Chain A
Amino acid sequence: MFIDDTIAAIATAAGEAGIGIVRISGSKAIEIIDDIFRANNNKKIYEDQRKLTYGYIFDFDNNEKIDEVLAVYMKAPHTYTKEDIVEINCHGGMIPVKRILQLVLRKGARLAEPGEFTKRAFLNGRIDLAQAEAVMDLISAKTEKGFEVAFDQLEGSLSKRVEEMRKEVLELLAHIEVSIDFSEEDVDEVTLDYLLEKSIKLEKSMTKLLSTSDTGKILREGLSTVIVGKPNVGKSSLLNSLLREARAIVTEVPGTTRDVIEEQLNIQGIPIKLIDTAGIRETEDIVEKIGVGKSKELFNKADLVIFMLDASRELTNEDLQIIEMIKDKKIIVLINKTDLPNKLDIAKICHLIGERSIIKTSLKEEVGLDELENVLVNMVYKGEVKSNSNLMIANVRHKDALERALNSLKEGIEAIRRQMPMDFIEVDYKNVWDYLGEITGDTVGEDLIDHIFANFCIGK
């Protein structure tokens, strides 16, 4: 569970970059890459150790070409982890790396925990004690963060859905266990038909949930977040600060952002689609007008609006118009340019837009961004913002667990169809329960036994 399986992760930093790297470490690395990579020279990757090989990653299950890549195989033990390592260099940006990672996980790797490559390097004798102590700090620090997030997520809608599913699985499991352990008792034996009916229902809802995470809005496009504000308030600067690189053009001349810019980013595990609008303002400029029209349309589809105001200027008609357009949406109000003297009537804004999160920033001085990130993440985990597709988080680990749960369920259904004995069928259902539990952070144990005794009248 900790040392002997194969792990994978995105090795490059999140966000936009020229290339992205997916790293796989463990005994199954070769098997996995062999399954998804086709080299242009038709050679197997392990024939050319330590050479970058040009080719494509394919998802053969769906007959789909994922990306054009350079892959390299490094044979154990002369690698970072002292295990077989494969690295896939693909195009940068969130989508290609994520899709490749998902594919790798589907082929049998497990998503690496924070610091796990380093941990393996240490456990396998690659790095020394001092380095190891640093790793230890890393693990414990990350874990605490992980706990917080996991806790908050419990309130999220994904967790709720998964909890519901687990409840159903638990009920089926309890039925199976009771008919095995208390077969002499006065309880109705669970029938295969009943199990099958319930399982097919469950399979459907699981498939549905999985498909939303696979192709659905959040994962593909992120939580749709529109940045709005009058020209030159700092919308593009915000976008850039969040992306930490200059992609959009930032100028002092109002109206230079003529079209809508979309960017994918990942804030603390939440995929977000950030949309920078053209400044909304009455204008004769046709190009800008298209931009404005598009802006309005975008609000209607947005999950969240970040409304930017300029602290150095008084509230204008434009601001009021924007407030009028967005007042029914989920809003974070960002008061930018707080490094300049304040001329903005904040009380009036509060009066106009009601109880909202108001964050003061100075993008120029890099003040307030952390707070923005935190507010954003909290809103997601507390379920305050909901994606239109009704699914909250599509983090790869969850998706991976859900996929494994669905596979086990399918095997269970197959076992029922083949009329396997209850105790064999149970193995698959316990797996479903366990895998779903990985999402919510619970595992089986006394729960099942509690459920049995609470719901079935048994005993001497």
Chain B
Amino acid sequence: MEYHAGAYDVIVVGAGHAGCEAALAASRMGCKTLIITLTLDSIAMMPCNPSIGGTGKGHLVREIDALGGEMGLNIDKAFIQSRMLNTAKGPAVHSLRAQADKSKYHIEMKKTIENQPKLDLVQGEVIDIIVKNQQARGVKTRTGSIYEGNAIILATGVYLKSKIFMGEVNYESGPNGLFPANYLSNRLRELGCNLRRFKTGTPARIHRDSIDFSKMSIQPGDTEIVPFSFMNDEINIEQQPCWLTRTTPETLRIINENLKRSSFYRGDMEGVGPRYCPSIEDKIVRFQDKPTHQLFIEPEGLNTKEMYLQGMSTSLPVEVQVEMIRSVIGLEKAEIMRPAYAIEYDCIDPTQLKLSLEMKHINNFFSAGQFNGTSGYEEAAAQGLIAGINAVLKIRREEPLILDRSEAYIGVIIDDLVTKGTNEPYRMMTSRAEYRLVLRQDNADLRLTEKGYKVGLVTEERYKRFSGKKDKIALEMERLKKTNVTPKEVNNILEEIGSSLIKTGVSLYELLKRPEVSYKEIKRLKKNEVNYEDIDKEVEEQCEIVIKYEGYIDKQLKQIDQFKKLEGKKIPEGINYLEIQGLRLEARQKLNSIRPLSVGQASRISGVSPADISVLLVYLEQKRRQKVGEKN
């Protein structure tokens, strides 16, 4: 039983964080778009931790925002606590994190999608991808609806053949008691997708009223709230605190005694889990001499009493979970509302994808998010956005938007996935970015707004605002360089802050270079030509960072120059690596399967040595000359 249900430019399968960004991007760029999801009640659902952002992840949200994505705007509507992490460290690793009201996050995103012109939202389970002549043409749902599409984006999250584990118990299920998608995997395998099993887990939720907060330390939000989105100036809300507590030696005993009953140690699971997100039993086994572990208790929202137990993900049986949780300080009487579980699911080997997130072997077929082997809402959203943009560009027959490692964390994730693959659910960390000093969260707008504007996703309003900021920064930099101060004007201030005195006049620029001098001091200098109230905080921030860390930033810019030169050496699509004399066999095979776009990308493939790259360079030059020769 089949029927024709509609025709679209872009069809997005899944409405999680990747799917929502993909669908919004495609429709905002003018394509008629359909988004299909198992249930409309789980749009942009946060089935694990109730927060957006954090180290590395906060950078991603800022980048998504700068390109014209939705995540930053949505969390700004739905957060209940905001903190800038790592403020004691350098500006490159300051990371914004917000606790979300999960239900509000879902509702706000659903509203945005419902109100988006050119975007249709339907409930359904996709069981087939229609492919003709190696090109994706549409999808079919379990109820027989056939939707035609010029591009398909898979964002199936953890739903493919998902299975839940709690001790000896396991059953087929999606997260949070939702249905799994059991049909699509086989079809994808038929289509040549190389699927594998990954796993992840989530801790229990407990009832707020059963917690003794007096035994815990409170973790309030920042007094000054920094919004995620460039479009928001100031947000004032009453923030909710989180709480910090610890496990006890008793917890350790309970886990050790019941270890055999954990699904993971029973050997029931085949999936590979992330190392950065180990279960509590895993932590205890690996770090036996650590007597206690810290736990954060975080609210799941304003209209619920469910509290999230950050740090206690587990696959132990529910009865053991109860005992274990009650051994934690302040949780002696805790009542579990949702038990912790581990979940296993099918995902693709991302080396089957191009940097545009299109599958190498099927045209117009894109994928994003956890299906690509990542973990985390932000990582998913970032890919969703790029897949959405590139699906549209593909239909328009334009060049894809590919951000490189020196331009964005988004570029780092995608390059890592596509070039190196991943053996565990991939999480963003700032240490994965080689050019971290340049890829700051404070300059995401400056790095990416232009690109978002060029593809047509950034609105005129945002672009105007952005240009304004850019001009103001340039003006202020100029002023700092040109404005000189005399010893008489500044020495008393310098003395006060323990900075060495000046003997002759210096520019404000020179002064700001000193680690101990900040804008606060600059502002104390009476300079008539400027009214400091007119200078935005963001402008000050940019100038100060750029001036203060100039030496290091320059070092990194030089590295980027070198990097760009190799990235700029493009490899023609049809190249036959197997015939290149001088390449080692392993390198030939690896290059042949990854099919890098540039020599730079080739050099990052594991198993390809610098010598192989030399050989490749020479080969490419030979080919180029032959071509030139033929033309003449």
Contacts and interface: CB of A to CB of B under 8 A. Distances in A.
A457 B622 CA distance: 52
A194 to B, nearest CB: 15
Contacts of A420: 90, 515, 552
A183 B615 contact: no
B129 to A, nearest CB: 33
Contacts of B562: 1, 4-5
Interface in A411-454: 418-424, 426-427, 445, 448-449, 452-453
Contact of A180 (B89, B310, B556, B566): B89
Contact of A182 (B55, B293, B618): B55
Contacts of B294: 185-186
Contact of A421 (B90, B611, B618, B619): B90
Nearest to B423: A446
B256 to A, nearest CB: 16
A82 to B, nearest CB: 13
B86 interface: yes
A49 interface: no
B387 to A, nearest CB: 25
A424 B429 contact: no
B278 A140 contact: no
A453 B556 contact: no
Interface in A1-21: 1-5
Contact of B618 (A136, A427, A445): A136
Contacts of B613: 2
Interface in B248-290: 274-278, 283, 286-287, 290
Contacts of B311: 459-460
B618 A132 contact: yes
Contacts of A67: none
Contacts of B609: 143
A185 B56 CA distance: 15
A5 B91 CA distance: 31
Interface string B63-103: 00000000000000000000001100111110000000000
B324 to A, nearest CB: 15
Interface residues of B, number: 57
Given A2-B613, A136-B581, A140-B611, A422 B90 contact: yes
Nearest to A427: B552
Interface stretch (B11-19, B430-438, B479-487, B524-532): B430-438
B625 interface: yes
Contacts of B283: 457, 459
A293 interface: no
Interface string B576-615: 0000011000000000000000000000001001010111
Contact of A181 (B275, B296, B313, B430): B430
A135 interface: yes
A457 B85 contact: no
A427 B556 contact: yes
A48 interface: no
Nearest to A2: B617
Given A1-B562, A4-B562, A460-B277, A181 B615 contact: no
A89 to B, nearest CB: 29
Nearest to B311: A460
Contact of B611 (A143, A181, A426, A445): A143
Nearest to B287: A457
Interface in B279-338: 283, 286-287, 290, 293-294, 296, 310-311, 313
B622 A132 contact: yes
A146 interface: yes
Contacts of A418: 515
A175 B582 CA distance: 41
A314 interface: no
Given A1-B562, A419-B515, A457-B293, A139 B615 contact: yes
Contacts of A423: 89-90, 92-93, 430, 436-437
Contacts of A113: 614
Contacts of A119: 614, 617-618
Given A420-B515, A423-B90, A136 B431 contact: no
Among A2, A423, A458, the one with the most B-chain Cβ atoms within 10 Å of its Cβ is A423
Interface string A178-199: 0111111110000000000000
B453 interface: no
A136 B55 contact: no
B227 interface: no
B411 interface: no
A56 interface: no
Contacts of B89: 179-180, 183, 421-423
Given A449-B431, A460-B49, A180 B93 contact: yes
Given A181-B56, A445-B606, 20 more contacts: A2-B617, A4-B565, A122-B618, A132-B622, A135-B618, A136-B581, A137-B582, A139-B615, A140-B582, A143-B614, A177-B431, A181-B431, A420-B552, A421-B93, A422-B90, A424-B552, A427-B552, A453-B275, A457-B290, A457-B293
5 closest cross-chain pairs (CB), A and B: A421-B90, A140-B582, A143-B611, A453-B275, A423-B90
11 contacts: A1-B565, A136-B582, A143-B614, A146-B611, A177-B431, A181-B430, A186-B293, A427-B556, A460-B48, A460-B203, A460-B277
Interface of B: 48-49, 54-56, 85-86, 89-93, 203, 274-278, 283, 286-287, 290, 293-294, 296, 310-311, 313, 429-432, 436-437, 515, 549, 552, 555-556, 562, 565-566, 581-582, 606, 609, 611, 613-615, 617-619, 621-622, 625-626
